[in-house]
């Protein structure tokens, strides 16, 4: 898995794509945000994207943003014991935590 990067200015925000408008040969510019994994100062790790109109990261305010980021790991399908298919994203641990609350909960449940 990738390492945490604490330089939020280098986080990928997305790209501008030209989309046809349906009226002749005209096009319009559309911002497509990139998904990344971010860490907050309070210990939360989540998937986020840049909201260009509001100049902030999703799940954060423009005043208080994430403290670190890494590329999105992608998703995988998981089939549980009942045969149900789920889409799973393996998020990394917070850069300041050796063990996440979820890991501790799984260990407590297994004990």
Q: pLDDT tens digit string along 80-95? A: 888 888 767 777 777 7
Helices then strands, counting H and E runs in the chain, come out as 1, 9
Specify the pLDDT at position 19: 86
Higher pLDDT, 1 or 29: 29
pLDDT > 70: percent of the chain: 89
What separation in angstroms does the CA of 20 have from each of 14, 16, 26, 40? 19, 13, 6, 38
pLDDT tens-digit map of 93-108: 777 665 666 667 777 7
Tens of pLDDT, residue by residue over 31-47, are 888 889 999 998 888 88
pTM, two decimal places: 0.66
């Amino acid at each position: 898995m990738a390492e945490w990067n604490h330089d939020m200015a280098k986080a990928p925000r997305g790209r501008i794509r030209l989309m046809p408008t349906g009226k002749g040969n005209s096009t319009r510019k559309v911002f497509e945000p990139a998904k990344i994994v971010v860490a907050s100062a309070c210990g939360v790790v989540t998937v986020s994207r840049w909201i260009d109109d509001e100049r902030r990261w999703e799940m954060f305010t423009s005043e208080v943003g994430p403290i670190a980021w890494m590329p999105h790991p992608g998703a995988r399908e998981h089939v549980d014991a009942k045969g149900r298919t789920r889409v799973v994203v393996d998020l990394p641990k917070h850069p300041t935590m050796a063990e996440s609350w979820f890991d501790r909960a799984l260990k407590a449940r297994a004990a």
